């Protein structure tokens, strides 16, 4: 109310900016990057070593790639009012498939990569069928694969870290094109493809309508089950790509640890990006920003020189602040106190 | 002749008089039946550990009953109950978790079956188990530091890749390492972070180290396990640093892949996390049955391995692939 009656002045543009959904996540990301710059003075430095661009900002993009990919898939799933807990396990499975294929068979590595992505899609299909056709609650349906998936990956790798020497597969994680590492290209490609799919076709709208009210959507003639299936398959494919990157990065498939707990980071990224867990409207770009926020915090902590015992606490506090910044209650409180302060200052100058 | 006859009679008499529990078990433990409740086969090291115990039992003529608990305590408890029902002479337990063993260990005690704990610890009452046989993490840290001190003549700026924060392996290896480098004025840990015992963790942390610091100023990397070190060597290679040469490496575990790295000149030394706990555990059982008192802890120390034997060790440990 008070905001409405405020005179426009120069505050207006700032206010409309802060009311923009994109403002707070991007603001938080910039704030965290600045904080990192204060801790490590050469944080923004970027140099070229042996034809490859180096620097902390690039590290954030490379290391953040798996969660960025997961968050893109997760956004679609959450928009349908679902959730996908299995992506960490799918990472382990797809990595195991690719690593075992190239190390024990003579298969063309490109084919191995495609098979691995296909396995990710299959995992997504499994989740989607359970959710969409058997009406199992998403958290339960995907929990099944979350728990059993690592076991499946261990069966594939025989419980060992499956190492390989194939250069093509390794390229997925550490290859460089024009000075930039390959995972960054994968992220950009997936983001653009998904963005085109959901914003240039009807799929995005259908996903939002299914997430907002799947019964109403059904009666309106939308095949809600197929839309959900699409979201889970997309999430599975994103997880498989993340698994390929993580596996290729260390030239080995670690069934026990690859992607461990990353499903939680992905969900967090989506939430930071402002997509509601209740489904409906979703914001792909902001989920990616959310993923980059998480990675910036982690990279910052690694470079801060803090004792490792503080890692999790610092991460939790920073994320909490980011989420508080987005909370309507806190934001109203801040804007009220800013207004009050402004009113006082105006009173003084008058 | 009469003399030997007499001595035989005497021996028989003595053997009858002497309590049956005393000096009756041969030192090797031959003829004993021992139940071994293993955690599972979740890692290559665990598998090597199981195989070492089985091979040792075979060599000594011990009848070993082996149970794979598949990382579940309830499986291990039912295995122990079945060992008790079969009337084994002793039980060796490699517990999956520390707590919740009191009841089943009490059952073993009620049946006068001694229990030796191997590897991880238990919180059960001290009277319920004979002794604990496990790796000496502190010793591993000391040995690693001692090698590095010698290799660098006590002058080295070290970056450390810690294991999972709060794990006993990380804490103890750190303690042992720091004890030894404290003896040298010019040995110092300049950067330290946790890589969570994983390859990805080790690689990410090493990348940030190389970003924060001029690689030329780093003398050595000390990793609490081989997996993190392997990740770190990849980070070094990608940054144009030659691991094992520009920056020395030392780590713990002696997994097959570290021998491969050493044979390729990418790593300098590894301290073995010894999987050979069968021998000391059987010795403890025999000593107990022969009436000796045992200390709370029997430490098992592994050796240190270098590139000169790496190729053949890799062959041996990776199953001759």
> B224 touching A, CB under 8 A?
no
Give the whole-angstrom CA distance, residue A246 versus residue A244: 6
Is B42's CB within 8 Å of A256's CB? yes
> B19 touching A, CB under 8 A?
no
pLDDT band at A51 (very low <50, low <70, confident <90, very high): confident
Residues of chain B with pLDDT under 70: 1-4, 6-23, 319-321
Can you give the pLDDT at residue B186? 96
pLDDT band at A6 (very low <50, low <70, confident <90, very high): very low
DSSP letters for A313-334: HHHHHHHHHHHHHH-HHHHHHH
Q: Which helix (H) or strand (E) holds A244?
A: helix A224-250
Interface of A with B in 24-43 (CB under 8 A): 40
Is the pLDDT at A2 greater than 50? The verdict is: no
Shortest CB distance from B200 goes to which of A40, A174, A249? A249
| A95 contacts on B by Cβ (under 8 Å) | none
Domains and CATH numbers, chain B: 20-129 (3.40.50.2300), 137-274+306-317 (3.40.50.2300)
Is A54's CB within 8 Å of B239's CB? yes
Is the pLDDT at A278 greater than 50? The verdict is: yes
Can you give the pLDDT at residue A193? 97
Q: Which helix (H) or strand (E) holds A52?
A: strand A52-54
Encode chain B in three state secondary structure: CHHHHHHHHHHHHHHHHCCCCCCCCCCCCCCCEEEEEECCCCCHHHHHHHHHHHHHHHHHCCEEEEEECCCCHHHHHHHHHHHHHCCCCEEEECCCCCCCCHHHHHHHHHCCCCEEEECCCCCCCHHHCCEEEEECHHHHHHHHHHHHHHHCCCEEEEEEEECCCCCHHHHHHHHHHHHHHCCCCEEEEEEEEECCCCHHHHHHHHHHHHHHCCHHHCCEEEECCHHHHHHHHHHHHHCCCCECCCEEEEEEECCHHHHHHHHCCCCCEEEECCCCCHHHHHHHHHHHHCCCCCCCEEEECCCEECHHHHHHHHHHHCCCC
**Mean pLDDT over the full length of chain A:** 91
> B319 touching A, CB under 8 A?
no
> B28 touching A, CB under 8 A?
no
> B315 touching A, CB under 8 A?
no
Tell how far CA B23 is from the center of its chain: 30
pLDDT band at A43 (very low <50, low <70, confident <90, very high): confident
Query: Among candidates B250, B289, B232, B51, which has minimal Cα distance to B156?
Result: B250
Is the pLDDT at A195 greater than 50? The verdict is: yes
CA distances from A71 to A66, A104, A117, A252, A344 (A): 9, 32, 17, 24, 44
> B207 touching A, CB under 8 A?
yes
Can you give the pLDDT at residue B187? 97
Q: Which residue has the higher pLDDT, A304 or B161?
A: B161
**Chain pair A-B, CB pairs under 8 angstroms:** 72
Do the Cβ atoms of B84 and B113 come closer than 8 Å? yes
> B47 touching A, CB under 8 A?
yes
> B160 touching A, CB under 8 A?
no
| B207 contacts on A by Cβ (under 8 Å) | 59, 63
Is B205's CB within 8 Å of A302's CB? yes
Interface of B with A in 229-268 (CB under 8 A): 230-231, 234, 238-240, 257
DSSP A306: -
Query: Among candidates A236, A226, A96, A64, which has minimal Cα distance to A169?
Result: A96
pLDDT band at A122 (very low <50, low <70, confident <90, very high): very high
Distance from B273 to chain A by nearest Cα, in Å?
17
What are A34's two structure tokens? Answer: 């600045």
> B212 touching A, CB under 8 A?
yes
DSSP A50: T
Interface of A with B in 139-168 (CB under 8 A): 159-161, 163
What are B160's two structure tokens? Answer: 């450390």
Q: Which residue has the higher pLDDT, B49 or A242?
A: A242
Do the Cβ atoms of A75 and A67 come closer than 8 Å? no
Interface probe, candidates A52, A250, A310, chain B, greatest B C-beta count within 10 A: A250
Give the whole-angstrom CA distance, residue A161 versus residue A52: 28
Do the Cβ atoms of B113 and B90 come closer than 8 Å? yes
Share of chain A above pLDDT 70, in %: 95
Can you give the pLDDT at residue A159? 78
Residue for token pair 């433990």:
B29
Distance from B239 to chain A by nearest Cα, in Å?
8
Is B203's CB within 8 Å of A257's CB? no
Give the whole-angstrom CA distance, residue B281 versus residue B118: 7
What are A99's two structure tokens? Answer: 């690593």
> A250 touching B, CB under 8 A?
yes
Can you give the pLDDT at residue A12? 57
Return the bridge partners of A253, or none: A162
């Amino acid at each position: 109310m008070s905001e409405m009656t405020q005179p426009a002045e120069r505050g207006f543009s700032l206010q409309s900016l802060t009311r923009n959904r994109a403002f707070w996540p991007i603001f938080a990301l910039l704030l965290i990057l600045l904080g990192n710059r204060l801790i490590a003075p050469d944080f923004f430095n970027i140099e070229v070593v042996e034809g490859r661009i180096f620097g902390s900002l690039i590290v954030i993009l490379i290391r953040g790639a798996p969660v960025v990919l997961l968050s893109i898939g997760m956004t679609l799933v959450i928009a349908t009012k679902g959730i996908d807990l299995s992506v960490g396990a799918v990472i382990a499975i797809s990595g195991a498939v690719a690593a075992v294929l190239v190390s024990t068979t003579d298969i063309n590595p490109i084919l191995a990569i495609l098979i691995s992505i296909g396995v990710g899609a299959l995992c997504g299909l499994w989740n989607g069928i359970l959710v969409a056709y058997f009406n199992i609650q998403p958290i339960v349906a995907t929990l099944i694969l979350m728990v059993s998936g690592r076991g499946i990956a261990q069966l594939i790798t025989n419980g060992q870290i499956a190492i390989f020497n194939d250069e093509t597969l390794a390229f997925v994680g550490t290859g460089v094109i024009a000075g930039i590492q390959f995972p960054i290209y994968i992220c950009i490609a997936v983001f653009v493809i998904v963005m085109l799919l959901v914003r240039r076709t009807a799929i995005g709208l259908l996903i939002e309508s299914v997430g907002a009210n799947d019964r109403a959507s059904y009666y309106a003639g939308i095949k809600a089950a197929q839309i959900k299936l699409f979201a889970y398959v997309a999430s599975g494919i994103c997880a498989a790509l993340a698994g390929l990157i993580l596996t290729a990065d260390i030239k080995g498939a670690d069934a026990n640890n690859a992607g461990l707990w990353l499903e939680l980071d992905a969900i967090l990224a989506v939430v930071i990006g402002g997509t509601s867990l209740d489904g409906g409207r979703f914001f792909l770009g902001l989920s990616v920003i959310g993923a980059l926020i998480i990675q910036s915090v982690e990279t910052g902590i690694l470079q801060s020189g803090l004792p490792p015992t503080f890692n999790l606490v610092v991460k939790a506090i920073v994320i909490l602040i980011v989420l508080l910044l987005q909370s309507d209650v806190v934001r109203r409180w801040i804007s009220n106190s800013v207004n009050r302060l402004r009113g006082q200052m105006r009173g003084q100058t008058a | 002749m009469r003399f030997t006859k007499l001595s035989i009679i005497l021996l028989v008499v003595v053997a009858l008089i002497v309590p049956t529990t005393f000096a009756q078990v041969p030192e090797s433990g031959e003829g004993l039946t021992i139940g071994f409740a293993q955690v599972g086969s979740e890692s290559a090291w665990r598998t090597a550990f199981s195989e070492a115990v089985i091979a040792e039992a075979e060599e000594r003529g011990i009848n070993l009953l082996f149970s794979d608990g598949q990382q579940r305590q309830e499986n291990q408890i039912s295995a122990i109950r079945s060992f008790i029902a079969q009337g084994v002479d002793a039980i060796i337990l490699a517990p999956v978790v520390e707590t919740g063993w009191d009841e089943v260990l009490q059952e073993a005690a009620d049946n006068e079956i001694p229990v030796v704990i191997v590897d991880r610890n238990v919180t059960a009452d001290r009277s319920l188990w004979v002794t604990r046989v496990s790796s000496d993490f502190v010793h591993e840290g000391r040995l690693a530091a001692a090698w590095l001190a010698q290799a660098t003549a006590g002058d080295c700026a070290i970056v450390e890749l810690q294991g999972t924060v709060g794990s006993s392996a990380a804490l103890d290896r750190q303690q042992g390492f720091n004890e030894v480098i404290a003896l040298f004025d010019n040995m110092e840990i300049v950067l330290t972070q946790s890589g969570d015992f994983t390859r990805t963790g080790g690689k990410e942390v090493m990348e940030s180290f190389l970003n924060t610091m001029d690689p030329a100023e780093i003398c050595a990397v000390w990793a609490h396990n081989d997996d993190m070190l392997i990740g770190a060597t990849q980070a070094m290679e990608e940054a144009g640093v030659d691991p094992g040469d520009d920056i020395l490496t030392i780590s713990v575990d002696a997994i097959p892949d570290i021998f491969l790295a050493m044979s390729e000149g990418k790593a300098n030394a590894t301290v073995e996390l010894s999987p050979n706990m069968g021998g000391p555990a059987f010795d403890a059982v025999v000593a107990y049955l022969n009436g000796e008192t045992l200390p709370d802890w029997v430490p098992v120390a592994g050796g240190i391995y270098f590139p000169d034997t790496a190729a053949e060790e890799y062959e041996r440990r990776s199953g001759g692939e």
